[in-house]
Amino acid sequence: MKNRLNFVYLFGMVMVLGLYFVLKQTHKKAEMFYGFTQSEEVIVNLDKEVSIREVLVKPGQTVKKGEVLLKVANAELPIQMDDLKVQSDLLADSKSRDEDQIRYQISQLRIRQNSELMQIEAEIKKCMQKLETQKTLYAEVNGLSRRGNSTNNPLKLELEQWYLKRKSVQKMYREQIAYQSKLLHKLQKPFTLNSTLMQKQIAANAERLDDLEVKAPIDGFVREVYSHPYEHIDSYRPMLVINKTVPTQVKSYLHENLAVNLQKGDAIKVLSITNPGVSVVGEVTGLGVSIVEIPERLRRIPSFKTYGREIIVRIPESNTFLQNEKVKLEVIPDTNHPLAFGCAGHQKEENKM
C-alpha cells in the first residue's frame, strides 16, 4: 500500500513538473505561435431571383476567371412581363373608357344643341307667322300700314331676340364640343407614348428570357456548391463558393498569456513546419475582439484546452504553402518595426510590475 502511495506521489510530482516546464517554455517562446493557411473565399450570388437551369461545376474543381459556372434564368422576368401586359391592357381599357366618356359628352352636347335650336327655330317661325298675319291685317286697314312696318314693332323686336339667342346657343355648343374634341385628341398622345414604352419593355424582357451565364470572378477552385438544377434561388442567396488556389492568409490564435502586443499592419514571419526552409513575411490584417478557445490542432498540448485571440495574417500569393497547412508564426525581431516596439513596451511594463 505504501509503495502504491509513493508511486502516485511520484506520478503527481512528474505531472506538476511537466506542466510547469510546458508553461515555462510557453512563456519563453512568447513570440512564437501556430496557425494554418487558408485562401480568401468569394461567395457567388446574384441581385435578382433566378431559376437554376444547369450546374457546370462540382466541389474541388479548378476554375479560371470567366469560366461559366452556372446557367440560370431570371425568375422575375416572366412576372414582370405579365405585370407589364396587365398594365398595358388596363391602360388601353382606361383610354377606351375615357374616350367613350368624352364621345358621350360630345353626343349629349349635340343632342342638347339640336333640341335648343329646334325650339328657337319654332319660336322664330311662330314669330314670323305672326308678323305676316299682322302685315296682312295692317294692309287692309287704311292709315295703319305704316305702323305695321315700324321698326318699333314688338314682333320684330322679339324676332331679333330669337335670332340673337340662336347665334349665342350655336357659339356656346360649338366651343363646348371643340373643348371635348381637344380633350379626346390629348388623350391619345400620352397613351401612345406609354403604350410604346411598355411594348419596348416587354420586347426587351423577352430577349432576356434566354439563359444567363454565371461566370467565375477569380482563378481558384470550387469549395462548395449550394444550388441544384431547377431550384429557385432568392436574390443574394449564395449559389457557390470559390477559393483562390494559393493560400492568401494565415489564421492563428495568440495565447491570452503571451506578452505580445500585436497591431494591424505589424509584420509576422510565417514558416512551414514540414519544410523549415520555406518562409514568407506576412502582415497582420485582422485582430479578434474577444478571447476564444484555440482549436485543438493549434495547441501545444492538444488535450489541454487553451484560449487566445484570433488573428489574420495576409501573406503574398507567391508563397508555396499548401491549403490548410499548419505553419509557425514568429514576431520579426526588428527593433525598427512597430511590432518590436510594441512587444518591448509590453515586457517593460511587466518588469515594472
Residue 247's CB is within 10 A of a number of other CB atoms, namely 23
Task: Using CA atoms of 287, 288, 291, 292 in order, give the dihedral in degrees to the nearest 10.
Answer: -120
Q: How far apart are CA 269 and CA 256, in angstroms?
A: 20
Residue 208 near residue 74 (C-beta atoms within 8 A): yes
DSSP for 159-177, written as a single string: HHHHHHHHHHHHHHHHHHH
The predicted-structure confidence for 214-257, as pLDDT tens digits, reads as follows 999 999 999 999 988 988 888 899 999 999 989 999 999 988 88
Residues 77 and 205 sit within 8 Å (Cβ to Cβ): yes
Sign for the CA dihedral angle at 27, 28, 29, 30 comes to positive
Q: Tell me which of 48-62, 79-93, 114-128, 266-280 is least confident.
A: 79-93
What is the Cα–Cα distance from 23 to 353, expressed in whole angstroms? 20
| pLDDT band for position 202 (cuts 50, 70, 90) | low
Higher pLDDT, 329 or 202: 329
Residues 221, 44: Cα–Cα separation, whole Å? 13
Output the CA–CA distances (angstroms, integers) from residue 170 to 16, 103, 158, in the order listed.
120, 19, 19
What are the backbone dihedrals phi and psi of residue 49, each rounded to the nearest 5 degrees, phi first? -75, 135
Instruction: Give percent helix, percent strand, percent coil of the chain, each to the nearest 5.
Output: 45, 25, 30
d(CA 274, CA 70): 39
pTM: 0.48
pLDDT tens profile 38-55 = 988 899 998 888 888 899
Nearest of 89, 93, 77, 169 to residue 124 by alpha carbon: 169
Comparing 18 with 304, the larger pLDDT belongs to 304
**pLDDT tens digits for 232-241?**
888 899 999 9
Query: Class of the 31-60+240-352 domain?
Result: mainly beta
H helices within 142-236, ranges in order? 145-148, 154-207
